[in-house]
Every structure is written in C-alpha cells, then in structure tokens.
Amino acid sequence: MTETIDTGGTAPLITPELVALDAAPGSDKSDVITHLAGVVAGAGRADAPEGLASDALAREATAPTGIPGGIAIPHCRSEHVLTASLGFARLAEPVDFGAADGQAADLIFMIAAPAGADDMHLKLLAKLARGLMRADFTDALRSAGSAEEVVRMVTEQVQPELLKDGASAEEASAPAAAPAPAAAPAPAAAPAPAVAPAGGERVIVGATSCPTGIAHTFMAAEALEQAGAERGITVRIEGQGSGKIDALDPELIKRADAVVFAHDLPIKGRERFAGKPVIDVGVKAAVNDAGRLIDQALAAIDDPAAQRVPAGAAGGQGAAEEDEGSVHWARRLQRAVMTGVSYMIPFVAAGGLLIALGFLLAGYDVANLYGKFSITDYSLTNLPGHEFVHTITNSAGDVLGTETITLDRSGLPLYLGWAFFLLGKAAMGFLVPALAGYIAFGLAGRPGIAPGFAMGVVAEAVGAGFIGGLIGGILAGYFAAWLAGLGVPRWLRGLMPVVVIPLGTTLVVGGLMYLVLGRPLASIMTGMQNGLTSMSEGGASILLGVILGLMMCFDLGGPVNKAAYLFGTAGLAANTTASFEIMAAVMASGMVPPLAVSVASFLRPRLFTKAEVENGRSAWLLGLSFISEGAIPFAAADPLRVIPATMAGGAVTGALTMALHVGSRAPHGGLFVAFAITNVVGFLLAILAGVVVTSALVVVLKGLGHRKAAAVAA
C-alpha cells in the first residue's frame, strides 16, 4: 500500500465501508475506539489500525470526548491516517465516554485526520461537529436503516457539493477516479447575517478553541449560537480551530454588548474585544450548557462590576491574521516578545514583593547577609541575633580575615524577613530565563521552552542581563522553529520535539552565546546601566520620567505599557538608586489613568454613560493598586479624548517622581507597598499632580464633545 497522504479537498470523508450499524464491540470505550480504528484501516484509509487506535486513545486520555445527548467524538491526528475519514458506529449497547450529563453514548464518530491535513479537511470536520449539536440530525442517525442512508445524511452536512442532483449515496461516497467538481468548501463558522442586527437588539460575540482544534471548538460555537437564537438575540462565535480561522467581522465586534470565550487554548486576538463584559470558561462548559453562558453574558451587560476583556492580553496574539504563516515576521516577533514579557511578570511581581516584605520585617541591611551566611544555621527555636561574623577566605581556603556585620533587627522579625528576602531573590532569579524561555516558546511552541530557558541562564552567566535574555530567546526560538520545520523520516518525528530540537538548539545557540555574543552583549548591558545611572543623576532624569510616563499611559496594559514596565523591573536586579527611581516613575505613572477617570466621572457624571459612572466607582481602587487596566472601559469607549489626557498626566507624574528622587524597591502594589518607597510624600504629590492634569483634560475634552453633539442635534 502506498503511504501517500491524501490532501485533496474532494475525497469523501465517509463511505458505507466506514459505517457500522448496531455494532457491539465491547463495554468499554477503548473497545469502541479500537473497533473503529479497524473499520477505518479496513476501508484502506489507515495503514495500521493499532497505531491509529493508540493515537486516538492517547487523545482520549487527555479529556473525555463524550458530549451530552448520547454522542461521542473520539478524534486525533495520526501519522497512520492516509485519507481524512469519519468512522461511524451506532452501538447496540451504549458505552460511557465521560459525557457531562452522565449518559452513555450510542452514536460514535471517529474523526481520523492525517498529520498533514489541510484547511479544507479541518473545515469539513468542523461542520460535522456543528451538525451533531442539532437534535434532528442525531435523531435521523439513530433511525437510519442502512449505511448508505447514514452516508448521505453525513455527506449533506459536511460535503454537500459531492451530492449532485440525482446522485445516489453510493455515488457520493465512492472514491472518485475522475476529478471531482472544483467546489470551494463552505466556511466552518456560520456566516454573519446578511442584514445587520436591529439597532436595539442585543449582540454577543466570542471565540472557542480546544486542544486539537477539531471537534469541541466548533461544537461549542454551534451550541452558543443556537442558545442565542432560542433567546431571540444575535450570537456569532469565531471557531479558532486548526488551520485558517474565519474571523468575526470587526464591525460586529464593535457592535457587541458582551463576549463569551469558551477555550482550552489562549484566544487569538483578544485585544479586538477589549473593554467588553466577558464570560471566560473552558470549552466543555459551552458544549454542556451554552444557554447558561448566554444568560450570564446578558446579565453581565448591565453589571458594572462584571469582568471585562483587558487590552494587551497575555500571549500577544494578533488581531485577525489568517494564520501563522501569513503573519509578517515583525508582527510575529512582537507577539513572541510580548509573550515572554507576560510570562515573566509573575516572577517579577512575586519576587519583588517578597523582597520588599523582607525589607519591611528585617530592614534593608538584610541584603548584606546574602551569599555570606546561611539561614539554615537558624530556626524558630534558634533565632539570629544582631551580629554576624563572616570568615573571608581565598580560593585555596586560607583565612584572610573576618568581617562583622551588625543589623538593627534580630530575632523573629529578622528570621522571617531574611526568609522572605531569600524567596524573593530566588523568584527574581528566574526573570531573565523566563523572559528568554517564553520568547522562544512564542516563536517555536513547546520545543522552544527548554533551550530558551537555557539561553536565559547563559545570558546571566556572561553578564548580558535581560538584553542577553532577549537576544538569546529570539535566536533560540527561530532556530528551534527552523528545526521543527525540517522534513525528517517518520521514525525520527517523535524524537524531534523532546530530544533533537532542544538538544540541537541549546548546542548551537548556546555555543553562539558563549563564544561570540556574550562579551558584546555584556558590554551593551553595562553601558546601558551606566547611561541610566547618569541620566537619573542629571537633568536628563526628568526627560526619562516623561518618556516612561507617556509609555505607561499610552495603551494601558498593551505592548508599549509592557515595554516600559519591563524596562523598570529588569533594572531592579541592579539594586541601584537609579533603578529604584525608574521603577517608581513607572509605577506612579501607571496608577494615574484609573484614578483620574474615577475622579472625572465623579465630578462630571453627565459626561459619561451610566456604565462608565459605575466603573468609575471602582476604578480608584484599581488605580491605588497599580492596575492601569482599570481605565480601559473609558479609553475603549472614547480613545481620542481619554488616551491623550492619560498620557499628559502620566508624563507629569513620571517627570515629578524623577525630579523628587522617589524610589521604589517593589515592582508592583501601588500605594499598598508604600513601605518599600523612598520619599512617599513625593510619590503621592507626583500621582496627585498627574491625576489633576488627566481628570481636568478628560472633563474639558468630553465637555467640548458634549457641547458639539448638542449643537448638531439642535
């Protein structure tokens, strides 16, 4: 048998040979899957039934494929599949496939996709998943009297272009020797209505995704759209399955009142939905009870406290590019860097706040103990005192002298503070490796993580810091992606992601970092640190504060905001006055937008919608906590007035913090980490000045727009 994967779009997915009616393969789902794998292989569509069964069972082990209504859809991509196929079994005795409603399944479809299946096959498979959410379709399958009847019904659902006028089920399902008519497949997602929703009608949009991108992705989308139709509202869902994505119309998204995300993978292009109320759940929740999710989304529309889609979502996925291959290289690189920054931030936040808490309990001098004394020499019953004597030795172990360190803290506060400080240092030690590792992940997927982390460690070892981690992660990601794209024999494919790619990438890129790039990158890092120190100590510090303030308030959690935040947090490891002042400018500026819009909506509520006024009542708390995203609903609704105003206030705050030499040893927390801020009075004055500027500008600009609209109406 020739092992050639059929990638043509006109081969039928199902034939009578792939249908087993009233079958009794066994009482366990593994028996059913093994039986269907044999059916697919017996029809000449797979080269090894045991291999296909193994791949399908491995997929089944990750999550049950049973769905409510007595249906199961085991599915997988497999190297053993020669032609995309649908194996179908109607069981004489239902078998449990783990459906949420507890009902055993009697209708079983095995979706067998080749490892190299193209977009056309994936769309056809998606249409089957949507059909199975309709009761009339499943009832007809249960009452079908022959395999040919099943073939016709399924073909009508997934490949209607193969059913020519007067064609029989056998003709439709027979493997055609002559070329089939060139017919474009219908899109996987239900198309948007030709007529736009009426002005007063509620509109809900969203996106779905599952790990394989084949079945549950589109079943969830169909279930949500059906639930919307039952309630008389417009619901349009973007199925983010494997292959090309049929993106939602941007105008429909703009009109939407709420968003539903049902996904097990990150949603691509989350920023398109920024500022809208969101229900965010796993994909199975939509398959099992879509009506409840739609009801929750409707309730969230009028709830000012409802969760909203933030701008600059983690992962940095782009808006509506058709697929990875069509994304411009610069855009793809930006996404990868943003992915690295997003995954790095939790390490920074946890580590920085633990260090700050350690300073609060043990005093700043606890840092002098690092690397000289071991906390394991003490315990809760043997607490440390004020004095520590450090023996200084050379590399040969000869004693050169002693050093006495005296602290103003002792006992339990010192012991606990020391422990928190060490925990924070350990977490901060992952800053550069996490940045590099997840940049590589953004470019190459999972195979890039290990070599990316290794490049981060190498960057630290050669003194290149976060600049080295950035470069090392990018190189590791591109090299790992190149290796992943090589055509290799089938026997080697299984070793590629776990052995060949990590080993080869670490060897090549690591060698390049150590032997070629290490010293130049370290020089760049040293020069930048020296430059920042000189700027923060001279008149240029105010200009630096203005730039950081503008960046923090430009996109409120987006790429520019994250770049400024990375700039501030990466410098904390240097433990210098300059780095602390930069961090303070970043944090204070980021607190201004939510505080200012809260003040503005309180002072002039007539200029804002009812929902914005309600949001303003909670935005002040987000501002005090340094959560810039609290201003997103206001910026999303009126960006041309709100964003320039927030940038102006941020620039004022950034400049004042630098001029007043405010410093922050904590990377997050806002006013709640005041204990880690030097010159707290200056910190508060700078924030107050920025809030006054921004709130005044928002009121003035919105007032002008309000009067203009009133004049036009008159």
* Residues designated as active site: 75, 210
Residues 314 and 557: their CA atoms lie apart, in Å, by: 10
Quick check: helix, strand or coil at residue 120? helix
Buried/exposed code over 484-506 (b: 16+ C-beta within 10 A; e: otherwise): beeeeeeeeeeebbeebbbebbb
Residues 461 and 476: their CA atoms lie apart, in Å, by: 17
Residues 343 and 473: their CA atoms lie apart, in Å, by: 13
Closest Cα partner for 212 from 62, 48, 85, 105? Answer: 62
Residues 267 and 317: their CA atoms lie apart, in Å, by: 8
Residue whose entry in the numeric block shows the structure tokens 């429909």: 252
Cα 666 to chain centroid distance, Å, stands at 25
Q: 278 φ, ψ to 5°? A: -135, 140
| Contact in structure between 418 and 384 (CB atoms under 8 Å) | yes
Closest Cα partner for 51 from 77, 85, 89? Answer: 77
- Helix intervals (H) in 316-376: 329-362
CA distances from 171 to 9, 17, 30, 427 (A): 17, 13, 33, 65
Q: Which helix (H) or strand (E) holds 493?
A: helix 490-493
Residues 684 and 78: their CA atoms lie apart, in Å, by: 61
| Contact in structure between 450 and 498 (CB atoms under 8 Å) | no
- In DSSP terms, 83 is beta-bridged to 6
Give the 3-state secondary structure of 586-624. Answer: HHHHHHHHHHHHHHHHHHCHHHCCHHHHHHHHHHHHHHH
Residues 430 and 185: their CA atoms lie apart, in Å, by: 48
Residues 656 and 665: their CA atoms lie apart, in Å, by: 18
CA distances from 331 to 158, 335, 614 (A): 35, 6, 36
Residues 29 and 533: their CA atoms lie apart, in Å, by: 66
Residues 458 and 200: their CA atoms lie apart, in Å, by: 59
- Cβ burial, residue 117 (10 Å; 0-12/13-18/19+): buried
Joined together, the tokens standing for residue 601 give: 């909506």
Quick check: helix, strand or coil at residue 324? helix
What sign has the CA pseudo-torsion 635, 639, 640, 644? positive
